[in-house]
Amino acid sequence: MPHMFRLPTRLFTTRHSARHWLLVLCCAIFWGSWAMAQSALPQVEAQDPGTQVKQSIWIDESQQLDFESARTQNFKSFNALERLAIGDTVVWLRLHIDQVDAAAGPLFLHLLPVHLGDVTLYTPASSGLWHQRTVAPQDFIAMTSMGAVRQGDDFYLRINSRHNAAVLAFVGSKDELARHERKMAVAMTVFATLSLLFLFVMVWRSVRKFSWMSLLVCVLLVSSQIQIWTGMGYAITVLGLPVPWSMALASSNIIANIAIAGGILIIFSTLIFPRQRWLRWIWVWPVLQMGIGVYAIFEPSEASNGSMLLWRLGTLALTAFLLLAAAREPSSLSEKSTRVTFVVLLLVMVMTVFVSWQSVGILGEASRALTSDLFLKNIFSRFTMLLVIIGLASWFYERLQLGQFQAVQSALKVSQENLDLESKRLERQRQFTAMLAHELKNPLAVSHLALSGIKARMGQDEPLLARSAAIEQSLQEIDAIIERCSEIDGFEQGQLPMSIVSFTLNDLMAAIKASNPNERIYFLVQGISGDAVLLSDMHYLKIIFSNLLTNALKYSPPDTLVELAVQARLGNGQAAMVEFCVSNEVGEAGTPSPDLAFERFYRAESARNLSGAGLGLWLSQALAHALGSEVVMQIDPKKISFTLVLTTQ
């Protein structure tokens, strides 16, 4: 017995050892990347930025105001890290220079994200005039010169965007923006390295054991990197992706991330409550999100608004459905790991609702001055949260699968034990049936011999002869019931195996006549040669026809004939077939119910005074089905027939 568990234990240990080393590798790469980032930028934190800019915004929904009218409007401060609903509007961004180092030279502008669209820069000139300059995405991805700047100057950006997006404007001297870009480059390198490492781990897990969870996590990691690279402009500057493509992918990619995250949440929900199949209808939510993502290629603003609304409604609906499923199926939360996963899932739902409201300003944070450090901290916190969620999701998913696997194993063990008990019970029943049949046949044989001796000494006394005939008939019926019960028990216990062989119709008819020598049975063969070859089980057929003929003799009037007619018949595809039909006139017991005639233990009310157990027709139909055929009953007002069709070679 111990060697049976040695291999699974070794595999379990090896698997945990692999996970341990993967965790060590992740930590080593993370800290190594962080150390490289710190060593590569020793001067980044050497001094605080010398330029301080106050940003404020005003949204012109009419898109009709000119510059002079727009600059007189009531500009308001905002949180630059929040995604704003600015699609299909004109956004005026005012940059007020609060502090500037005159020795640092002219100021430059770095504007994100790249899918802001058409941007026009207004810079002050002498005599109260303004210079107007259109800034292309290729320009504000890098550094756009704002010229010589004095403290207290205002600059304006007119942004006409088709996408809902955050407006990130970094202003500083050439050295300040160079440090900013180096920070961004190093941070993106660290994030990309960790994403690739996590992606490698998840792909490895998917290859070892495929699951939809691992697949969605892999797609989410790739899609998140696409979002970062397109939004930060690296897809254009590093990969050479055309600007129109990058702008077209922006909103669609964000919506796709929402759909993928929703799919992961739904997988957890259906895994926690596997018997609540109606939860699968929530897959409509991410499917609709993906449809909106495709629509975002053509109408990004409308698609983004619709996606945000569907996001809020979907998370609220999923939270309600989870609580409803928990109320309907509390047994699914019996395991500790399942309860923890359920609570974490609800917390994620609440956090998702909070984030969705925050992104549209319902719960927005107070405005803060945009700096490189603030921006990087925001990206780092979101990226870290993504990796933590992915790690926790994978861990919880594994725990849930392990718990369900153990539950299935336990159920299989109980089922195996019950199966063993049932097998033992059936074996004892088979032995008892065989013993009972054997013990009953011996007294029946003795009774038959005694009755034969009594009949030989009775002479021609008709009353005594009639009584002896009734006794003999009763003994034969008891013997037939015992034989039928033995056949049924053997068939159900697999002790009556099927043996398909070739034989002629004459051989089958001879076996049927030998088993049923009653003078009332009339055999009729027409339209088919006795040398026709059948491929079937002769023993099964002999039992079928013996039961049908016995029933016909029992339930027909005593002075009538029972007919077994055999004739040729054309089947599907013009194949040669032979039809057997046992028919008899309807007796005093009447006819059986067409719906119940082949049911086990069924007997018509009018036939209760006749001997029988209601097993003959059921056994005949079961054997016919085993042979690939069927016994068909037909009832006429004065006649009842049972037909069986077989194929000839």
Residues in the chain: 649
Measured from the Cβ of residue 203, the count of other Cβ atoms closer than 10 Å reads: 15
- Bridge-based pairing state of the strands 501-504 and 52-60: unpaired
Q: Do residue 112 and residue 35 come from a single domain?
A: no
Q: Which residues of the chain have pLDDT under 50?
A: 1-16, 36-48, 360-366
Strand partners, 145: 108
Structural domains in the chain (count): 4
Q: Last residue of some domain: 414, 434, 459?
A: 414
In a domain, 454, yes or no: no
In a domain, 530, yes or no: yes
Gap between the Cα atoms of 287 and 24, Å rounded: 37
pLDDT tens digits for range 538-591: 888 988 898 899 888 888 888 889 999 999 887 665 567 899 999 999 888 788
pTM of the model: 0.58
Q: Do residue 242 and residue 363 come from a single domain?
A: yes
Gap between the Cα atoms of 374 and 368, Å rounded: 9
Determine the pLDDT at residue 630.
92
Q: Do residue 171 and residue 228 come from a single domain?
A: no
Q: Do residue 232 and residue 286 come from a single domain?
A: yes
Determine the pLDDT at residue 389.
75
Strand partners, 158: 92, 120
Q: Do residue 169 and residue 194 come from a single domain?
A: no
Q: Do residue 28 and residue 72 come from a single domain?
A: no
Closest by CA position to 393, among listed 202, 612, 531, 540: 202
Determine the pLDDT at residue 106.
86
Q: What CATH number should be reported for the domain holding residue 96? A: 2.60.40.2380
In a domain, 464, yes or no: no
Q: What CATH number should be reported for the domain holding residue 641? A: 3.30.565.10
Q: Do residue 292 and residue 378 come from a single domain?
A: yes
Closest by CA position to 614, among listed 582, 637, 589, 639: 589
Q: Do residue 375 and residue 517 come from a single domain?
A: no
Q: Looking only at Cα atoms, what is the longest distance across the chain?
A: 152
Please check whether residue 446 is in contact with residue 509, taking contact to mean a CB–CB distance below 8 angstroms.
no
pLDDT tens digits for range 263-303: 888 888 888 888 888 888 889 999 999 999 999 998 988 89
543 is written with which tokens? 């039992």
Q: Do residue 559 and residue 632 come from a single domain?
A: yes
pLDDT tens digits for range 199-229: 888 888 888 888 888 888 889 889 888 888 8
Gap between the Cα atoms of 61 and 65, Å rounded: 10
Closest by CA position to 341, among listed 315, 322, 314: 322
In a domain, 478, yes or no: no
In a domain, 490, yes or no: no
Determine the pLDDT at residue 324.
92
Q: Last residue of some domain: 414, 446, 481?
A: 414
Q: Do residue 240 and residue 347 come from a single domain?
A: yes
In a domain, 488, yes or no: no
In a domain, 444, yes or no: no
Q: Last residue of some domain: 379, 414, 449?
A: 414
Determine the pLDDT at residue 643.
93
Q: Do residue 214 and residue 359 come from a single domain?
A: yes
At position 520, the amino acid (one-letter code) is R
Gap between the Cα atoms of 561 and 584, Å rounded: 7
Gap between the Cα atoms of 311 and 256, Å rounded: 12
Determine the pLDDT at residue 46.
38
Q: Do residue 502 and residue 556 come from a single domain?
A: yes
Please check whether residue 289 is in contact with residue 255, taking contact to mean a CB–CB distance below 8 angstroms.
yes
In a domain, 476, yes or no: no
Structural domain of 19? 1-40
Determine the pLDDT at residue 649.
75
